[in-house]
Chains A and B, each alone.
Chain A
């Protein structure tokens, strides 16, 4: 095992070095780093050119310059020496200095997109697999084909032109008209009835209840000026938390399991108590406080599940964790919404931004800046998300169908397990195993897609570093970008292989 890992890491490093040579030589021969100076009229033109050639070693042919560059990179391997040297840009900034900020912006973007794509894609994939060849399944199949065929830049431009500008215009006079209310109600009702399924009568009831409820809530929100001053308030928070607790217990353990119900109840009660008691603490919170609170939430969820005990502690702990996390998210959401008014004033009533990663001049507590970041990142994340979302939907649908046709599922059903247990505990887990490989591939695709998204939304991340570097013939930032992206791709592939071996006992590591 250890020798396998060591050999694998060694091979990965060799592949990385070889790929960096390929990349360096290709960019090196295509780049024209002196173009801007050669066309300039400055009197000391020749002097400037000579200085740049000397500084960037442009007189050395690319294959040999790669050796010099690799020497600088090799210094990164010395621990704690901080001797990394990735070269400098044309404008004489060290790549090592500009890389961390760009990396942070891109990692934020890609992580959110990846997590959301997995959550949404897998959920919808499973539901469509359970309702194979239904209207919902065919619709989702067509939509995912459509998303596969949609270029990222088209999505991003459309989001920018319609969603961002449209939503900001809507906020100027936030009243939803009668026709819009009916249309939204019908659409939401149609979605819910196809998700829940059942016979005709049940579908009709679901359609009517969910459609009318949606329209009613929207009408109430519109009439009370909710969009200008949003917030959940105590009663909706309590209702939402109760719904989350009931949902988590039903889905993960079934309502008959009393201990799971107790766990979910404890966590819901704690979340509601936290909502009422922690508001003063929230007002003075920093990002660090929130991190500690998040850890505490996870701890409470797991410990309460463990203490509730029973014959299946793991199941209780999962129920506790899910309830605690989602209830905590509701409490946080409520607090973020309270800062919405401040954001509206700070951005002159146009909060959803189309460029950059934060509004210049907006400063304040963690809530306001956090909300501002969300308002900036929402559309880029959606643009990135849509494409990999389609992939997850298709894969998890196919995976679920395949697992459901296997013999052990038939055995599980034959021994009288409820359908919920068959799906959640037997089929779902085995379906997830092949997805690990897809996640590893997807990371590379998302990092590549970030090049386009960052260009359209003008986010100063890794993608724009690569883009501007390539345009100006600036070799070192391009290589810095490549080094990070390739290392990430290799790492994720490696992790996926290890996870696969860990999860699937049939796979043996040689």
Chain B
């Protein structure tokens, strides 16, 4: 750009660091979002801990036929050790504890002698599975329905949105119970897939809203003039711009998926025995609360931590995608210099 010639107003002074940033290569949207997300320490720590817990559970008792490093399975019965008490000890000897050791059954045993560590790990696996599968299916269905409704508008939109209304009228737990009652006995993957087909409504509404506003923008016009097909415009041009909404709400669906699965299992409509779910563990051991409280605490702690971590990740993603949501610290505001006084003091 050439230097402006003439009597126009002098351009405002640009601070040196901003000028430097403008002269260097412009950052892509994705890189900007990534940088904002990484800057959020809580969210990054949450995603690391979350992945660590899930990997730990899969490595401990293995997947399907592949065995893990833990010596007991979640179905086998073992002789009662120490009255089923947890043998996990974390207090080192120099602090008066028994030293850091796992012991025979670190999380204790249930009433018939199953190893509770293996059962809890299996519960985490199932929660993670339901979370991912349900989240993916709900997101894909929601995006497709919302994109088509928002892009084509008119009759298509009206029909699709009325269908969404029909599904949304039934409270999530009610439809979940019915679906779980029907498909729960077929195992966790089937349950997760079927639940996914009844959880897409929120995301569909959001995506439709995004599409309704994005389809009026110039870049869509340009693509259409260039001869792009509808599918190409929807998936290559508009959808990448709506990705923020999609990713954030997918994370939030995943958090609620964990809670939905545990609630259904608690009610008896989710994952069935002999398979294990964290909600099922609580429901079947609730009566033993006074005598064997650890049967209640371990699954409870893991449900809350999983859901909390996913929620933190979702919150971090929302902050990263939406610059208006940027958190600013009060301490930083105080650092800004006071405004210059209008009239110099005599």
A interface residue numbers (CB < 8 A to B): 11, 14-16, 18-19, 22-23, 26-27, 29-30, 132-133, 145-146, 148-154, 157, 161, 444-445, 447-449, 451-452, 455, 466-467, 470-471, 481-482, 485-486, 489-490
Contact = CB atoms under 8 A, between A and B. Distances in A.
Helix, strand, loop or mixed for chain B's interface?
Answer: helix
A19 to B, nearest CB: 4
B158 to A, nearest CB: 10
A157 B308 contact: no
Contacts of B178: 23, 26-27, 30, 470
Contact of A149 (B169, B171, B181, B308): B308
Given A149-B307, A154-B304, A26 B169 contact: no
A444 B165 CA distance: 13
Contacts of B269: 470
A481 B329 CA distance: 49
Interface stretch (B79-87, B115-123, B218-226, B258-266): B258-266
Interface in B164-184: 165-167, 169-175, 177-179, 181-182
B266 A153 contact: yes
Contact of A26 (B179, B263, B268): B179
A157 B288 CA distance: 12
Nearest to A16: B169
Contacts of A467: 177, 267
A151 B171 contact: no
A400 B312 CA distance: 22
Contact of B169 (A27, A161, A455, A486): A486
B282 A154 contact: yes
B300 A154 contact: yes
Given A15-B165, A467-B267, A470-B269, A149 B174 contact: no
Contacts of A29: 182
22 contacts: A14-B162, A15-B166, A16-B169, A22-B170, A23-B178, A26-B179, A145-B315, A148-B255, A149-B307, A151-B262, A151-B279, A152-B263, A153-B266, A153-B282, A157-B296, A161-B290, A452-B173, A452-B263, A455-B267, A482-B170, A482-B174, A485-B174
A145 B305 CA distance: 11
A153 B283 contact: yes
Interface in B285-320: 286, 289-290, 296, 300, 303-304, 307-308, 310-312, 315
Nearest to A146: B308
Nearest to A23: B170
Given A11-B162, A23-B175, A445-B171, 4 more contacts: A149-B308, A149-B311, A161-B289, A470-B178
Nearest to A443: B171
Contacts, number: 112
Nearest to B315: A145
A146 B169 contact: no
B330 interface: yes
A451 B177 contact: yes
Contacts of A148: 255, 307, 311
A27 B171 CA distance: 15
A154 B170 CA distance: 24
A289 to B, nearest CB: 37
B131 to A, nearest CB: 13
Nearest to A30: B182
Nearest to B176: A448
Contacts of B300: 154
Contacts of A471: 181, 268
Contacts of B255: 148-149
Nearest to A29: B182
A317 to B, nearest CB: 38
B169 A489 contact: yes
Interface of B: 162, 165-167, 169-175, 177-179, 181-182, 255, 259, 262-263, 266-269, 279, 282-283, 286, 289-290, 296, 300, 303-304, 307-308, 310-312, 315, 329-330
Contacts of B262: 151, 153
Q: Classify the interface of chain A: helix, strand, loop or mixed.
A: helix
A455 B179 CA distance: 19
A149 B304 contact: yes
B279 A153 contact: yes
Nearest to A21: B166
Nearest to B182: A30
B263 A151 contact: yes
Contacts of B175: 23
A261 B300 CA distance: 51
A204 B279 CA distance: 45
A149 B255 CA distance: 8
B182 to A, nearest CB: 4
A485 B171 contact: yes
Contacts of A16: 169
Nearest to A446: B171
Nearest to B299: A154
Nearest to B266: A153
Give the top 3 A-B pairs by smallest Cβ distance, nearest first. A149-B307, A448-B171, A30-B182
Contacts of A466: 174, 177
Nearest to B305: A149
B282 A157 contact: yes
A444 B255 CA distance: 19
Contacts of A152: 263
A446 to B, nearest CB: 9
A101 B288 CA distance: 32
Contacts of A489: 169, 171
Contacts of A149: 255, 259, 304, 307-308, 310-311
Contact of A145 (B166, B279, B311, B329): B311
A155 B303 CA distance: 12
A145 B303 contact: no
A299 to B, nearest CB: 38
A121 B182 CA distance: 37
B172 A26 contact: no
Chain A CB count within 10 A is highest, among B266, B308, B310, for: B266
B73 to A, nearest CB: 26
A22 B166 contact: yes
Given A15-B169, A29-B182, A489-B169, A151 B259 contact: yes
A151 B175 CA distance: 17
A148 to B, nearest CB: 6
A448 B256 CA distance: 14
